Structure 1
Amino acid sequence: MPMPRALLAAPLLLVLLGLGTVPLPSEPHLTPAAAYLPRLVAEGGAPTAALLARRASTAPYDTYRSTGPGIRRADRFRAGSITKTFVATVVLQLARERRLQLTDTVERLLPGLVRGNGNDGRRITLRALLSHTSGLRDYTADPSAHPLTAVAAVRAALTHRPTSAPGRYAYSNTNYAVLGLVVQRVTGHSYATEIRNRLITPLHLTGTSLPGARTALPSPHGRAYTRDPADGDLRDVTSLDPRTAGAAGELISTLDDLNRFYSALLGGRLLPPAQLAILLNTRATHGVYGLGIYPQKLSCGTTVWGHNGHIAGSYVRTAATRDGLHTLTYRIDTDTLADARTLEPALLEAEFCDRPDSHRSS
């Protein structure tokens, strides 16, 4: 599956070696994916890489590994487009509560917001926003734009014609900027408040937050780097204004919290079976993307579900089996990973295909 283009790979719209840890007592073995961490550094060009793998089924384990001291297990980091899964979960909870319907149009809920240059909110449903089939141009595609509100982001996108016909998959951060406004219109609260009340607090995601205008990362945290396109040198971008990312990618989290969230989501703790089936339905995108989450079928036949996050100074990927019992989150402390289309599948296959029961949990 082609990896969705994630959020703010350039500086925030300019943008949005040996294993160094000792096994914990609860870790009886080296998780297979950990062997690939040095490749993320040597071949991928990442300063530091880390992962947390957890399996709750047979032969359970909880294993953290890092290539060095640059990333610690408890560190907070920017999770980029993984924010989308949180937003999508809230929208489906609201649908369950009959406060909205996925067939509602943008025009019905946000009159007059999406109009002009061939963009028509009367033809775009919430389902289309969630699945990236709206055709709305990605506002982050214009490096000269620095919208600090969702409305400004949508207006930036509307200066262009749709990038595709409605109903055709085209990943666009604008879709989730609109969804953030929808949540606020329906609930009377910001999407950040709804995510905190519905997901972060009930799941005890103590390292997860939505920073709003706060430019600093909460402690503890490491550094975040981006490569200068002029000379290739690493530049520190730990502090940045996350408002440009908004509902499309402002989330801050930890390795533990992301594993816990996806395990709870896929395990049915956040959505009942009917809504979870809708979340995972990829028919509209021909198997590429569900609603804020996407599948990746591995060579062994196992399909993992999750999302990636790409923002200035950070790349992260979470994947989990369909039952949520086996999860993996890995991250690097830069937004540039060379040869990601080779290294990431290899890492996922090492984790999810090299286990005796990996096929049974797909």
Structure 2
Amino acid sequence: MFKRFFTALLAVFITAFSALQVRAQAVPPAIDSIMKKFDAVGLSVAVVKKGKLVYTGSFGWKNREQQLPLKDQDIFRIASISKSFSATSIMQLADAGKVSLDDDFSKLIGFKVRNPKFPETVITLRMVLSHTSSLNDSQGYFTLDVIDPAKNPNAAKCYNDYEPGKGYQYCNLNFNMVGTVIEKVSGERFDQYVKRHILDPLKLYGGYCVDSLDKNRFVTLYEWDGKTKTFTPAPGAYNPRSGEIRNYVMGYSTPVFSPTGGMKISAGDLARYMIMHMNYGKTGAGRILSKKSAVAMQTPVSDGEGGYGLALRSANDLVPGKKMTGHTGSAYGLYSSMFFDPKEKFGFVTITNGCNPVYNEDMPQLTRDLIAALYREFIAGR
């Protein structure tokens, strides 16, 4: 009798647990509609409300070919949101009195960084962090050789025609150089500095070094071909560059880790990092950034991209009547976003590993629609 009762009870429990699993994995209707509209392969989102992480969800495929579903613990290369980790690192060094935003960048990096059309104008660390340095990516940005006049006879082409500090152009080279300065000033390899001083204190899993991470957690990224309307995997997103790292030169090989775009992290952990910036550098365990430095990162230096500060920008058109701060990322078919309201303490992270990127001004419409839907569902009227 007892055995039959126990067996029946166990069956009920298993059925109920399975139902809970199905419900937990079900795609909310609003998100499902957006994913279908833009052919999203997979999607991870996170929502912060009143300074707390209140929701994470992962939908679609981590790997389409292997039919692996996307899970919350999976990690993406998040592209240009990575720049804020580099800026946070340099601002920690500023808090420690080791650098100043007004320092001559040439002295920090160890070779001449001067726009030849304005040789007397000092290019400062602040200019590099805010994309007002007058630099461009025309010569590439995967090695410092492109801008070092001793290595590249065409280094002058890395500079625009306007005076440093008097114009804005988004430039990946800026932040690969910032990563180099972090090494020179701290004495720590760039990826290890970020891990020890940002990720570990916040108890986040991620990093810039592929070989230091669990490859089973990497989300395959897919590039969209608009002509054929097909997706192609982009394995280059997780190129470990192990050989280059074995021959690493501190203070020069730094672009190997891509301080400008190479952070790998989950949506939930990126949201936890976002909360630190939402609280102006403060965490539950103390501070990892001074309020002064956190405010400086969020304060526009130019009007580029709605108001660009130090690796964080303003966005006034994502949620009606709300001024949000954050960044976007796009590379290898991935589209990511991290935006928050530091006054009302809400924010969103959205990451897709591939979609049809129909753009609306400066970001994919998918990103805009997702933020609007998450705001309606979790924040508005609550």
TM-score normalised per structure 2: 0.74
1:186 and 2:185 equivalent? yes
Q: Is the 8 A contact 1:53 1:327 kept in 2?
A: yes
Aligned pair in 2 of structure 1 residues 222, 275: CA closer, same or farther (>3 Å)? Answer: closer
| 1:112-138 Cα deviation digits (max 9, x unpaired) | 242575475962100001111001012
- State the shift of 1:321 in Å: 1.9
Cα RMSD (Å) of the superposition?
Answer: 3.2
Q: Is the 8 A contact 2:357 2:364 kept in 1?
A: no
Moved more, 244-253 or 67-76: 67-76
Which residue number corresponds to residue 276 of structure 2?
264
Which residue number corresponds to residue 313 of structure 2?
294
Q: Is the 8 A contact 2:226 2:356 kept in 1?
A: no
1:210 and 2:208 equivalent? yes
Aligned pair in 2 of structure 1 residues 174, 36: CA closer, same or farther (>3 Å)? Answer: farther
- State the shift of 1:196 in Å: 1.0
Please give the alpha-carbon distance, in whole angstroms, between the structure 2 residues aligned to 1:224 and 1:148. Answer: 20
Aligned pair in 2 of structure 1 residues 92, 153: CA closer, same or farther (>3 Å)? Answer: same
Please give the alpha-carbon distance, in whole angstroms, between the structure 1 residues aligned to 2:114 and 2:188. Answer: 25
Q: Which runs of 5+ in 2 are unaligned?
A: 1-20, 62-67, 241-254, 283-287
- State the shift of 1:229 in Å: 6.6
Give the residue type in structure 2 aligned to 1:265. Answer: H
Q: Is the 8 A contact 1:87 1:247 kept in 2?
A: yes
Q: Is the 8 A contact 1:113 1:121 kept in 2?
A: no
1:226 and 2:251 equivalent? no
Aligned pair in 2 of structure 1 residues 152, 43: CA closer, same or farther (>3 Å)? Answer: farther
Aligned pair in 2 of structure 1 residues 202, 278: CA closer, same or farther (>3 Å)? Answer: same
Which residue number corresponds to residue 70 of structure 2?
71
Which residue number corresponds to residue 22 of structure 1?
23
Aligned positions of 1:101-120 closer than 5 A: 101-115=100-114, 118=117
Aligned positions of 1:65-144 closer than 5 A: 65-67=58-60, 70-115=69-114, 118=117, 123-139=122-138
| 1:276-320 Cα deviation digits (max 9, x unpaired) | 221111143365211111121145211222211212142211122
1:50 and 2:44 equivalent? yes
Give the residue type in structure 1 aligned to 2:367. Answer: E
Aligned pair in 2 of structure 1 residues 203, 161: CA closer, same or farther (>3 Å)? Answer: closer
- State the shift of 1:246 in Å: 1.0
- State the shift of 1:219 in Å: 2.1
Tell me the secondary structure at the aligned position of residue 302 of structure 1.
Answer: coil
- State the shift of 1:44 in Å: 2.3
Moved more, 343-352 or 94-103: 343-352
Please give the alpha-carbon distance, in whole angstroms, between the structure 2 residues aligned to 1:217 and 1:127. Answer: 35
Which residue number corresponds to residue 244 of structure 2?
none
| 1:153-174 Cα deviation digits (max 9, x unpaired) | 5357835152352221111001
- The one of 278, 284, 297 equivalent to 2:302 is 284
Please give the alpha-carbon distance, in whole angstroms, between the structure 2 residues aligned to 1:324 and 1:271. Answer: 20
| 1:22-71 Cα deviation digits (max 9, x unpaired) | 248xxxxx99xx5543344333232222312232469x832424246642
Please give the alpha-carbon distance, in whole angstroms, between the structure 2 residues aligned to 1:173 and 1:121. Answer: 24
Q: Is the 8 A contact 2:113 2:123 kept in 1?
A: no
Please give the alpha-carbon distance, in whole angstroms, between the structure 1 residues aligned to 2:30 and 2:161. Answer: 37
Aligned pair in 2 of structure 1 residues 336, 93: CA closer, same or farther (>3 Å)? Answer: farther
Please give the alpha-carbon distance, in whole angstroms, between the structure 1 residues aligned to 2:79 and 2:129. Answer: 16
Aligned pair in 2 of structure 1 residues 324, 95: CA closer, same or farther (>3 Å)? Answer: farther
Give the residue type in structure 2 aligned to 1:223. Answer: T
Which residue number corresponds to residue 247 of structure 1?
259
| 1:67-117 Cα deviation digits (max 9, x unpaired) | 466421111110111111001111111111110100001122224242575
Give the residue type in structure 1 aligned to 2:302. Answer: A
Aligned pair in 2 of structure 1 residues 324, 85: CA closer, same or farther (>3 Å)? Answer: farther
- State the shift of 1:148 in Å: 4.5
Q: Which runs of 5+ in 1 are unaligned?
A: 1-19, 25-29
Moved more, 327-336 or 80-89: 327-336
Aligned pair in 2 of structure 1 residues 247, 260: CA closer, same or farther (>3 Å)? Answer: same
Pair member with larger Rg = 2
Which residue number corresponds to residue 329 of structure 1?
349
Aligned pair in 2 of structure 1 residues 216, 299: CA closer, same or farther (>3 Å)? Answer: closer
Aligned pair in 2 of structure 1 residues 61, 112: CA closer, same or farther (>3 Å)? Answer: closer
- The one of 354, 357, 368 equivalent to 1:345 is 368
Q: Is the 8 A contact 2:130 2:302 kept in 1?
A: yes
Please give the alpha-carbon distance, in whole angstroms, between the structure 1 residues aligned to 2:124 and 2:263. Answer: 25
